[in-house]
């Protein structure tokens, strides 16, 4: 193991020589086995772990027992994603991906609507276009359960230490993260990171300049100008658009709670429930628009944030629900699409409807604002 890998041992994904042990830990983990049983075996059996656990472990050993490399894990994930996409979407489409160089490592910065699906679908697109999959940034707030940590690190995820609070500890964690991203790109590994911490629960996709300042920490260490360093990172904005917003009602509940009481405290296991809901519910048509590597408009973190936002908003694919919620009267929506959206909206609790509608309307209005400002 090289020295450069060792210094990232606490945050990096697993290497090939660590895969078999990780898989063994997963198969031995009762909590993980029980979750697999819950979603794959008849419900009445879930009360009898002495029956379900040996059954599930036997199946897992048969399926994963010989998994010994990151590439094998990626093929397993692709197989699972294929089934999930077939079951929960009408279609997944891509634009711009064919203009990327398969031999180039990119830093993909995307809007963030679903905890795990966003990077999973970016990877799906790359995999389908015969390009290497990305290393995925994931907050340590999601890694409270051992089997989740194992699954994430097996699937090329690296850890963002959001729990660091003391200034010195925070700077150390951010510097390590910045260096890891730079070294990964230099070694030919593409990276995915969300444009800000947490999902855009109100439909407002906006890049946080603080994220870009974190990326620059390694550039500052190398005494490089911000714009020069950014061009080296090969940043590609990605705009992800779901016909049916993942976890829309749960997001609206959180926003409503904040409006009514000033704050919202997540319950234990809420993030895991959101991951499961995002995976299992219908998403309709999903479109991923890959932008162009940023070469200009990047003299400062604030200017770069605007450049990223412009690409994400401009390339965001508007679905029927976005037009309807945005009050668009143009004949761009057929009756079937309108009926399907209104049927979903009818199931939303009355007090949450304005928030859900605003969630869908925001991309429509921002795109219109961008078009207006560009024409002036």
Inter-helix orientation angle 353-375/301-315, to 10° = 110
Q: What is the pLDDT of residue 217?
A: 98
Q: What is the pLDDT of residue 26?
A: 96
Q: What is the mean pLDDT of residues 128-150?
A: 93
Q: What is the pLDDT of residue 2?
A: 47
Q: Residue 146: how many CA atoms within 13 Å on its side-chain side?
A: 12
Distance from C-alpha of 177 to C-alpha of 180, rounded to nearest angstrom: 5
pLDDT tens, position by position, 346-365: 999 999 999 999 999 999 99
Geometric angle at alpha carbon 177, from 172 and 180, rounded to 5°:
125
Q: What is the pLDDT of residue 94?
A: 98
Distance from C-alpha of 317 to C-alpha of 240, rounded to nearest angstrom: 8
Predicted confidence band at 204 (pLDDT cuts at 50, 70, 90)? very high
Residue 3, pLDDT > 60, answer no
Q: What is the pLDDT of residue 84?
A: 93
Q: What is the pLDDT of residue 331?
A: 61
Predicted confidence band at 1 (pLDDT cuts at 50, 70, 90)? very low
**Within 10 A of 253 (CB to CB), how many other CB atoms are there?**
17
Predicted confidence band at 332 (pLDDT cuts at 50, 70, 90)? low
Q: What is the pLDDT of residue 35?
A: 87
pLDDT tens, position by position, 147-157: 999 999 999 99
Geometric angle at alpha carbon 79, from 246 and 54, rounded to 5°:
95
Q: What percent of the chain has pLDDT over 90?
A: 80
Beginning with the edge strand found earlier in the chain, give each strand of the sheet holding 157-160 in spatial order.
89-95, 284-290, 235-242, 107-110, 191-194, 135-139, 157-160
Residue 262, pLDDT > 70, answer yes
Distance from C-alpha of 293 to C-alpha of 234, rounded to nearest angstrom: 5
pLDDT tens, position by position, 210-219: 999 999 999 9
Length of the chain counted residue by residue: 376
Residue 222, pLDDT > 50, answer yes
pLDDT tens, position by position, 79-131: 999 999 999 999 999 999 999 999 999 999 999 999 999 999 999 999 999 99
Q: What is the pLDDT of residue 85?
A: 95
Mean pLDDT of the chain: 93
Distances 103 to 53, 121, 130, 133, 210 between C-alpha atoms, Å = 44, 20, 10, 12, 29
Say if CB 247 and CB 272 are below 8 A apart.
no
Selected residue with higher pLDDT from 266 and 226:
226
Say if CB 67 and CB 98 are below 8 A apart.
no
Q: What is the pLDDT of residue 181?
A: 98
Predicted confidence band at 376 (pLDDT cuts at 50, 70, 90)? low
Q: What is the pLDDT of residue 254?
A: 95
Q: What is the mean pLDDT of residues 223-239?
A: 97
């Amino acid at each position: 193991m090289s020295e450069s890998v060792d210094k990232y041992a606490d945050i990096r994904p697993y290497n090939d020589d660590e895969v078999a042990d990780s898989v063994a830990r997963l198969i031995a983990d009762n909590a993980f086995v029980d979750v697999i049983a819950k979603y794959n075996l008849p419900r009445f059996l879930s009360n009898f772990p002495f029956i379900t656990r040996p059954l599930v472990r036997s199946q897992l050993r048969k399926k994963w027992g010989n998994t010994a490399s990151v590439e094998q894990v990626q093929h397993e994930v692709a197989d699972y994603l294929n089934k999930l996409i077939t079951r929960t979407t009408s279609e997944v489409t891509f634009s711009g991906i064919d203009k990327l160089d398969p031999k180039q490592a990119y830093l993909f910065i995307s809007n963030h609507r679903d905890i795990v699906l966003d990077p999973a679908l970016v990877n799906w697109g790359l995999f389908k276009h015969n390009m290497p999959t990305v290393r995925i940034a994931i907050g340590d707030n999601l890694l409270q359960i051992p089997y989740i940590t194992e699954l994430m690190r097996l699937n090329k995820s690296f850890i963002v230490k959001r729990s660091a609070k003391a200034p010195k500890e925070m700077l150390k964690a951010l510097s390590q993260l910045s260096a890891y991203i730079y070294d990964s790109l230099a070694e030919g590994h593409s990276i995915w990171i969300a444009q800000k911490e947490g999902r855009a629960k109100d439909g407002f996709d906006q890049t946080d300049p603080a994220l870009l300042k974190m990326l620059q920490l390694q550039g500052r260490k190398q005494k490089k100008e911000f714009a020069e360093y950014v061009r080296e990172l090969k940043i590609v904005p990605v705009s992800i658009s779901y016909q049916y917003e993942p976890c829309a009602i749960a997001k609206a509940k959180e926003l409503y709670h904040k409006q009514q009481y000033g704050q919202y405290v997540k319950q234990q296991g809420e993030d895991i429930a959101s991951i499961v809901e995002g995976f299992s519910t219908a998403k309709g048509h999903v479109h991923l628009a890959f932008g162009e590597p940023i070469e200009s408009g990047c003299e400062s973190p604030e200017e770069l944030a605007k450049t990223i936002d412009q690409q994400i908003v401009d390339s965001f694919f508007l679905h029927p629900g976005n037009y309807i919620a945005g009050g668009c009267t143009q004949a761009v929506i057929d009756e079937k699409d309108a009926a399907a959206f209104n049927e979903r909206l009818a199931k939303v609790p009355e007090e949450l409807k304005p928030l859900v509608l605003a969630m869908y309307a925001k991309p429509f209005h921002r795109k219109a604002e961008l078009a207006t400002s560009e024409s002036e």
